[in-house]
Amino acid sequence: MSLFSEARAVIAGGVNSPVRAFAGVGGEPVFFKKAHGSWVETEEGRRLIDYVGSWGPMIHGHTHPEVIKVVCDTAADGLSFGAPCVLETAIANKITALMPSIEKVRMVSSGTEATMSAIRLARGHTGRDKIVKFEGCYHGHSDSLLIKAGSGALTLGVPSSPGVPAGLAEHTITLSFNDNEAVRAAFRELGGEIACIIVEPIAGNMNFVPPADGFLETLREECDRAGSILIFDEVMTGFRVAKGGAQAVYGVHPDLTTLGKIVGGGMPAAAFGGRAEIMRSIAPDGPVYQAGTLSGNPVAMAAGLKTLELLDTEDFYDRLGRRTRALVDGLKSIADDRNIPLAVEQEGGMFGFVFTADGPVRRFEQIAAADIERFRRFFHGMLTEGVYLAPSAFEAGFVSAAHSGEDIDRTLAAAEKVMATL
Ligand code: KE4
């Protein structure tokens, strides 16, 4: 019986998060035994160069010694108190220093909790029910955000999962990412009813789709005009694409930001925060309720704080960006040499590649029309060659500070071999 069969016997779907089940690429998922630096080791004893990094948190590579040390030292004095500790104030000060649009913050335990809370805060602060999101963006699995576009642009939302009441779905408007006119039309028609826009400033859940020129500015303008709250979901891009996140790259500041992944350094921690005037509406200061038993627990705070301290250096993102650029430029060059249509994107330590001749990719439709079968063959070929990519054509990839030039060279050598078979 395989490890996956054993897991399936007792865990729903055999995994504790669906994307891990390899449904996007076929075959049985790889079981990891340990991980250090840029590599993971499977239960079969194979070492793979890892470009998933636990879906983003491991920006310093796995088991960075200083992160492990603070986790062990902190844990030795208590795993969780359910009472304030100074580590919470320390990481809050670090987050607000790195992302100045965040004047006040609230720690939570997952990105889903962060976005769910931010949506409730926007609704409670504005007294409005409607929210705007974008097709192809993922913000975790809270009910109001598991909604796909209705038949027409302004048709109120349709649940993308059973279990979401239609009465709730109808308050979510789903528009096309990078479609300024659709945003303007929605605000012309419903602006006064819209509590917030939530957007991934770089859409990392439909591979890697950057904002088109003027898109984020349009969201800012429309929210300002209508008195709606602009939420940047930087759970993935926060501290990944730049020290100050995507908002620092594009120079557009949201009213609220959600964070996750890197902010916990691999431990369960996430956050939402923004303008103090809005955050004052959150309990216990204000009436919008939000709470969590393990929110701000010392071990997760210690891991997150050390992770943020280690990336807060002069040249951290220059080095990380150069290494990531070398990877995607290499992939593009190999594909071009073989006349394989490939579009690539990179920002900081985040990258994407899409087997399509219709690049650059700026719309969900382009990803949906890409050659998914070719991606699946590439994924399994690279896995055979010792390289672990995200097991889905709709995910972004991540390079860590632990990835060496040799890792990139070995990855490109593997790609050279695999692309010859595509
Ligand atoms: P979590 O609840 O998984 O911590 O965060 C949800 C979330 C919110 N916002 C963005 C932009 C996100 O990317 C995520 C989670 N990302 C996925 C992968 N793209 C996590 C992997 C998984 O679902 O297992």
Q: How far, in Å, CA of 250 to CA of 336, rounded?
A: 30
Q: How far is ligand 1, taken at its centre, from the CA of residue 410, in Å?
A: 29
Which amino acid is residue 159, in one-letter code? P
Question: Per-residue pLDDT for the chain (422 aa), expressed as one digit of tens each?
Answer: 999 999 999 999 999 999 999 999 999 999 999 999 999 999 999 999 999 999 999 999 999 999 999 999 999 999 999 999 999 999 999 999 999 999 999 999 999 999 999 999 999 999 999 999 999 999 999 999 999 866 554 556 778 899 999 899 999 999 999 999 999 999 999 989 999 999 999 999 999 999 999 999 999 999 999 999 999 999 999 999 999 999 999 999 999 999 999 999 999 999 999 999 999 999 999 999 999 999 999 999 999 999 999 999 999 999 999 999 999 999 999 999 999 999 999 999 999 999 999 999 999 999 999 999 999 999 999 999 999 999 999 999 999 999 999 999 999 999 999 999 99
**Known active-site residue 233:** yes
- Ligand 1, CB cutoff 6 Å, lining residues: 17, 19, 55, 110-112, 115, 138-140, 200, 204-205, 233, 235-236, 260, 270, 395
User: Ligand 1: which of 261, 263, 398 to mutate, judged by most atoms within 8 Å of the beta carbon?
Assistant: 261
Q: Where are the alpha helices (DSSP H) in 17-110?
A: 65-75, 86-98
- Compute the distance between CA of residue 322 and CA of residue 302 in angstroms, rounded to an integer: 29
Q: In what order do the strands lie in the sheet with 387-388?
A: 32-36, 39-42, 47-50, 387-388
Full set of structural domains in the chain with CATH: 3-63+316-419 (3.90.1150.10), 65-311 (3.40.640.10)
Ligand 1: residue whose CA is nearest its atom 7:
140
How far the first Cα of the chain sits from its last, in Å, is: 32
Instruction: Please say if 51 is a catalytic residue.
Output: no
Closest residue by Cα to atom 8, ligand 1, is 139
In angstroms, rounded to a whole number, what is the distance separating the alpha carbons of residues 61 and 317?
14
Q: Dihedrals φ, ψ of 105, to 5°? A: -135, 155
